Amino acid sequence: MQAYREEEAPIIESGDGFEVIDVAGRRYLDGTSSLWCNVHGHRVPAIDEAIRDQLNRIGHSTLLGLGSPPSIELARMLVERVPPGLTKVFYSDSGATAVEAALKIAVQSHRQKPGGGEDRTLFAAIGGGYHGDTLGAVSVGRVERFHSMYGGLLFPTIMLPCPSGYRLPEGHDAASWLAHCEAELERVVTEHRHELAALIIEPLVQGAAGIQVHPPGYLRKVREVTRRHGILLIADEVAVGFGRTGTLFACEQEQVEPDLLCLGKGISGGYLPLAATLCTDAIFENFLGPPEAGRTFYHGHTYTGNALGCAAAIASLQLFERNHVLENVNANAVLIERELAPLLSHPHVGQIRQRGILIGIELVQDRSTQLYFPSKLRMGHQVTLAARRRGAIIRPIGDVVTLIPAPAMPGDLVRRVCQTLLESIDEATRSA
């Protein structure tokens, strides 16, 4: 915060396509897609028009006890596109609130099962995961750098070892570490099968952990183990959903059908705060009963299902098909891998991690020993500043530099931001 006050960060006033423009008129390629949420660029005519049209009707009306056409239409469109079995939609306004709703739904669903409820309040999660900054989300997604001081406020969660990583524990290679992680998954779920309400996971990629990409098959293994023991699976696709891994939803790539699915960020095309928690009919039915039975999900948000946000989301989903956005993502994934290939031998790049258009580049002082840079150098941030001088916005996670272009960004702009990133890493690490 102190450094921010001293560095004259750009004040963004407007946007144009895949660029943002500051108050001085300087233009920057949006290499973080406005914190991983922008999909089709800025000032997209179809989304702008959808919002204007809705604004001519009503900007917002509560969904508590009422309904609205855009929220109903969006719910239908989501159910048609998510993994099979997810048929009910609960709206909120951010990724964290979507996760909070999922956690509470899981606990209450167990307590209201037909034939006698179960008091399950324990959760399992993957170490290094991130699910938001509200207290429930932090409880199941603790990133030490962000959350260490809040430990006394959090509820207990069993943290499973993350199956990927640059620095593996001594005595392990990638294969043996994956075997260990899968064995721990089986052990923990078996041992706590009568206490666990759910296991929560970021499918395929743990974003805020530094773009940790899970080995193929791990997500499928998690689903098999949880299903066998009757444990609900919550898939947090807030960051990885809406095309960023190469399919509309990451779960599709391993044919996984979660019990609860959390969506946010790109759901509205990156325009307005909107989120959703989807669940199965089996879960939904545990909340049905006469009003006096009190089985309702007592949870709501003022701006739940906001009409403007839903209108933007409907237009965004239509653009996915109309503009062949997923095909663009997969073409750009290949392009990015090729453009960043020179970094594979860079003396200060330890590892490049990529799934679709989610990329993390781990900077190190010494490649051969995997030695960190001293934290006071803020090397990842130095890359950010160098990129900014070259007209691109990049955001690091510590010394992991992330590149997260918008799914619809054209290939020529993707190539340009990749070249800017190469030059910026060279400049920032040259004196190291």
Give me the pLDDT at residue 275, please.
98
* Domain co-membership, 363 together with 299: no
Check which CATH number belongs to the domain holding 318 and give it.
3.40.640.10
Q: What is the mean pLDDT of the chain?
A: 96
* Domain co-membership, 144 together with 209: yes
Q: Residue 396: is its pLDDT beyond 80? A: yes
How close are the terminal C-alpha atoms of the chain, in Å? 25
What is the mean pLDDT of the segment spanning 55-67? 96
Please answer whether residues 93 and 304 qualify as being in contact, where contact means their C-beta atoms are separated by less than 8 angstroms: yes
Residue 401: its H or E element: strand 400-403
How would residue 117 be classed by pLDDT, with cut points 50, 70 and 90?
Answer: confident
Does residue 280 lie within any of the structural domains? yes
Please answer whether residues 278 and 82 qualify as being in contact, where contact means their C-beta atoms are separated by less than 8 angstroms: yes
* Domain co-membership, 53 together with 139: yes
Give me the pLDDT at residue 388, please.
96
Structure tokens, 157: 């969660």
Does residue 41 lie within any of the structural domains? no
Alpha-carbon span 268 to 303, nearest angstrom: 14
* Domain co-membership, 299 together with 364: no
Q: Minimal CA–CA distance to 236: which of 122, 108, 110, 140?
A: 140
Q: Residue 96: is its pLDDT beyond 90? A: yes
Does residue 306 lie within any of the structural domains? yes
Read off the pLDDT of residues 8-59 as tens digits, 9 standing for 90 and up.
899 999 999 999 999 999 999 999 999 999 999 999 999 999 999 999 999 9
* Domain co-membership, 266 together with 404: no
Give me the pLDDT at residue 307, please.
98
Does residue 124 lie within any of the structural domains? yes
Alpha-carbon span 48 to 28, nearest angstrom: 21
Give me the pLDDT at residue 6, please.
86
Structure tokens, 144: 């030490």
Last residue of a domain, one of 322, 343, 377: 322
Give me the pLDDT at residue 1, please.
85
* Domain co-membership, 330 together with 251: no
What percentage of the chain reaches a pLDDT higher than 70?
A: 100
Give me the pLDDT at residue 69, please.
98
- pTM of this structure: 0.97
Q: Residue 291: is its pLDDT beyond 90? A: yes
Give me the pLDDT at residue 4, please.
85
Q: Residue 144: is its pLDDT beyond 90? A: no
Q: Describe the crossing of helices 325-339 and 307-322 by its angle, rounded to 10 degrees.
A: 70
Give me the pLDDT at residue 142, please.
82
* Domain co-membership, 310 together with 388: no
* Domain co-membership, 420 together with 271: no
What is the mean pLDDT of the segment spanning 304-314? 98
* Domain co-membership, 150 together with 296: yes
How would residue 3 be classed by pLDDT, with cut points 50, 70 and 90?
Answer: confident
Does residue 40 lie within any of the structural domains? no
Q: Residue 428: is its pLDDT beyond 90? A: yes
Give the chain's radius of gyration (CA, Å). Answer: 22
Read off the pLDDT of residues 328-353 as tens digits, 9 standing for 90 and up.
999 999 999 999 999 999 999 999 99
* Domain co-membership, 337 together with 306: no
Last residue of a domain, one of 276, 298, 322: 322
* Domain co-membership, 344 together with 253: no
Look at 2-6, 25-29, 310-314 and tell me which has the smallest mean pLDDT. 2-6
Look at 110-119, 294-303, 329-338, 387-396 and tell me which has the smallest mean pLDDT. 110-119
Check which CATH number belongs to the domain holding 391 and give it.
3.90.1150.10
Alpha-carbon span 427 to 370, nearest angstrom: 20
Q: Minimal CA–CA distance to 363: which of 382, 377, 379?
A: 379
Give me the pLDDT at residue 145, please.
76
Does residue 39 lie within any of the structural domains? no
Q: Residue 393: is its pLDDT beyond 90? A: yes
Give me the pLDDT at residue 20, please.
98
Give me the pLDDT at residue 13, please.
98
Q: 10: domain range?
A: 2-30+324-429
Alpha-carbon span 363 to 382, nearest angstrom: 11
Q: Minimal CA–CA distance to 417: which of 15, 17, 28?
A: 28
Residue 392 phi, psi (nearest 5)? -145, 145
Give me the pLDDT at residue 133, please.
94
Does residue 38 lie within any of the structural domains? no
Does residue 155 lie within any of the structural domains? yes
How would residue 372 be classed by pLDDT, with cut points 50, 70 and 90?
Answer: very high
Last residue of a domain, one of 293, 322, 351: 322
* Domain co-membership, 186 together with 74: yes
What is the mean pLDDT of the segment spanning 272-298? 96
What percentage of the chain reaches a pLDDT higher than 90?
A: 94
Burial of residue 214 (CB within 10 Å: 0-12, 13-18, 19+) is: buried
> Dihedral angle at the C-alpha atoms of 159, 161, 163, 169, nearest 10 degrees?
160
For residue 149, give Cα distances in angstroms to 142, 204, 327, 397: 11, 28, 43, 19
Give the count of domains, the chain.
Answer: 2
Look at 165-169, 227-231, 301-305 and tell me which has the smallest mean pLDDT. 165-169
